[in-house]
Structure formats: structure tokens, C-alpha cells
């Protein structure tokens, strides 16, 4: 059982839902990344998703793409990100999950990536460009290490394929709320709710919804049909101001925003 499994087991016993904010590692620098992770956990985040910067992300919108570009311009390295997480892990009160391209995992070596990430305190990874048909070996490595391998399911994924993906998943399923890329949206599609209800009837794995979730109204609407909510672009957009405004103010504003969304789950 991974740390992610422990979180969802505890939340289900309390009839509560998970809140998972996303930030980009190294934007504007790793020191601030560590601070913002700790602050969001202090405000009540149940897990945090940490984006590993990559030059060619396949699903991220302009806000997160820009944050990756800024981090890469600073020559951020995977080893530095993992070192920061390991140094800060005693301050973290919730699991960290990496959003990482399979190209990075493959270059590092799948077994080495899982071992090094777990050593740093990471509980699992989301690999958006890893096809299920090619995931058997890394899924085995993750199972052996109690490390969650979280897949994405999109609105365009056939129901037959959704079942195949769910069978290979561990930790939770990341359900993409809309067709397209990450980013803040005014409204969520009505068919999303029917799709989530169907998938919930097919698997016992927790289902977390991301892409476009950014307001308390979104959170309140999705809480009855999802096990967790993932919010990224709205937080990354606020963090982008950390190089031009006092960092303590940006830290407080992100913390307040997270607290507002968490309040919508109560």
C-alpha cells in the first residue's frame, strides 16, 4: 500500500474528498517550491502534485507550459528536484505525486526513477505520455515498491479502454474533465458528471478530476461524483508573480486560495 492509498482510505472513512493542488518544480526556484508545498499542506491539502519541467508537455496549457519554460531556463535538473524534496520531507504533512514525462523516466531509468523518487519521499507518479499498452514493466516496478502509477482518462477515451486503464492503475485515476489542455475554465461540461458516475460504477479506485477546476463552484459541483479534485493552472498563475512581488504575499495568496477551495469541500 502506498502513502496515496493510506490517504484515500482515511478520507473515505471520514466521508471526505481529497484536494490536490499542482505546482511546477523550480518556478521561480526550488526554495520557493518547497515553501509553497509546505504552505498548501499546512492549509489542508491532502496531496500535492509536482510538475517535473519538460520541454514538450503534451497536455499542459499556456500557464503551465510557461512555468516549465521558466524553470528550464534556470537549468533545473531532476536530481536537484529530488534533493529538495528529500531535504524538505520532514516539513511535508501530505504525499507528493510527480507529473512527469515518460521521456524523463526512461532517460533516468524506470527502476532508478521509482527508487530515487521514493527515497525523496514521493508517493507516486502521473505519466501522461505513457500508453497503457507499454506500461506493464513500469507498473510492475511500481507495485514492487508500493509506488503509485496514476493514469489519465480523457472524455474521448472509450469505455472499453477506460476499463483496461483502470485495471493497470494504482493510487487513483486522474480523470480529465474536458477535451483539450489544462487551464482555467468558466464552466465544466454536463456530460462529465455522467461519465464520472459510470466510471465510479466500474472501479473501486479513487477518481480525481483535473483540468479546468479552479473555483469553489467547480469544487462543490464535482465533490458528489469525484473522490478528489486537482487544481493547477490557477495556482501556477499566482506563483508566476513570485519574481515581481514580495514572495510572502504570493505565498499567503496561494494559501488563501487553497483554503477557499478546501472550504467548498466541507
Which residues belong to the active site? 49, 60
The CA-CA-CA angle for residues 79, 8, 130, to 5°, reads 45
d(CA 162, CA 40): 31
Cell of 68: 516549465
**Bridge partners, residue 148, by sequence:** 124
Length in residues, the chain: 266
Q: How far apart are CA 221 and CA 204, in angstroms?
A: 21
Element (H, E) at 92: none
Q: Are 260 and 253 in contact (CB under 8 A)?
A: no
Amino acid at each position: 500500500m502506498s502513502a496515496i492509498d493510506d490517504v484515500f482510505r482515511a478520507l473515505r472513512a471520514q466521508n471526505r474528498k481529497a484536494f490536490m493542488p499542482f505546482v511546477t518544480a523550480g518556478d521561480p526556484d526550488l526554495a520557493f517550491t518547497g515553501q509553497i508545498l509546505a504552505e498548501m499542506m499546512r492549509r489542508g491539502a491532502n496531496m500535492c502534485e509536482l510538475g517535473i519541467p519538460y520541454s514538450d508537455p503534451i497536455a499542459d496549457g499556456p500557464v503551465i507550459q510557461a512555468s516549465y519554460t521558466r524553470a528550464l531556463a534556470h537549468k533545473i535538473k531532476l536530481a536537484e528536484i529530488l534533493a529538495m524534496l528529500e531535504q524538505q520531507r520532514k516539513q511535508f504533512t501530505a504525499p507528493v505525486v510527480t507529473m512527469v514525462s515518460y521521456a524523463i523516466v526512461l532517460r533516468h531509468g524506470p527502476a532508478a526513477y521509482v527508487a530515487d523518487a521514493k527515497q525523496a519521499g514521493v508517493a507516486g507518479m502521473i505519466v501522461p505520455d505513457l500508453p497503457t499498452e507499454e506500461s506493464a514493466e513500469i507498473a510492475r516496478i511500481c507495485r514492487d515498491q508500493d509506488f503509485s502509477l496514476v493514469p489519465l482518462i480523457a472524455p474521448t477515451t472509450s469505455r472499453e479502454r477506460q476499463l483496461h486503464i483502470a485495471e493497470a492503475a494504482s493510487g487513483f485515476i486522474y480523470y480529465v474533465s474536458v477535451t483539450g489542455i489544462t487551464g482555467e475554465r468558466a464552466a465544466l461540461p454536463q456530460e462529465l458528471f455522467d461519465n464520472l458516475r459510470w466510471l465510479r460504477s466500474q472501479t473501486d479506485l479513487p477518481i480525481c478530476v483535473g483540468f479546468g477546476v479552479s473555483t469553489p463552484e467547480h469544487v462543490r459541483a464535482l465533490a458528489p461524483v469525484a473522490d478528489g479534485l486537482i487544481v493547477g493552472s490557477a495556482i501556477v498563475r499566482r506563483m508566476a508573480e513570485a519574481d515581481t512581488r514580495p514572495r510572502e504575499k504570493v505565498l499567503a495568496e496561494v494559501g488563501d486560495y487553497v483554503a477557499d477551495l478546501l472550504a467548498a469541500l466541507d
